[in-house]
Amino acid sequence: MNQVSHVLTLALLLAMLALAACSPLDQEPVQHYFSHVLTDGDYLNDWLTHMSPEVAEQCIAWGRLIGPVVNQYQAAASCPAPTR
């Protein structure tokens, strides 16, 4: 595993911890929120509006850490391989 894979794995674990810590009413929106963050790095996605303000604030804090990592990974993955 490379360093980016380790960071993404950690990000997924943090998302799972956030999901486990929230109320049952917030679990579905939190799940969708982190699905979008882990897919496209958008940590200010529309699922925040479906959560209680306290949970949304915590998700944004985690999303700010996870989103840029996902964006960097996607950018690195889309770069063409160097030619010799």
User: What pLDDT, on a 0 to 100 scale, did the predictor assign at position 35?
Assistant: 86
User: What pLDDT, on a 0 to 100 scale, did the predictor assign at position 45?
Assistant: 92
User: What pLDDT, on a 0 to 100 scale, did the predictor assign at position 49?
Assistant: 94
User: What pLDDT, on a 0 to 100 scale, did the predictor assign at position 77?
Assistant: 75
Confidence grade of residue 81 (pLDDT, cut at 50, 70, 90): low
User: What pLDDT, on a 0 to 100 scale, did the predictor assign at position 4?
Assistant: 64
Q: What is the DSSP secondary-structure string of the chain? A: --HHHHHHHHHHHHHHHHHHHS-HHHHHHHHHHHHHHHHH--TT-GGGGGS-HHHHHHHHHHHHHHHHHHHHHHHHHHSPPPP-
Q: Are 60 and 78 in contact (CB under 8 A)?
A: no
pLDDT digits (tens, 9 = 90+) for 65-74: 888 888 887 7
Q: Is the pTM of this model over 0.75?
A: no
pLDDT digits (tens, 9 = 90+) for 17-66: 776 777 777 888 988 998 888 888 899 999 999 998 988 998 898 888 88
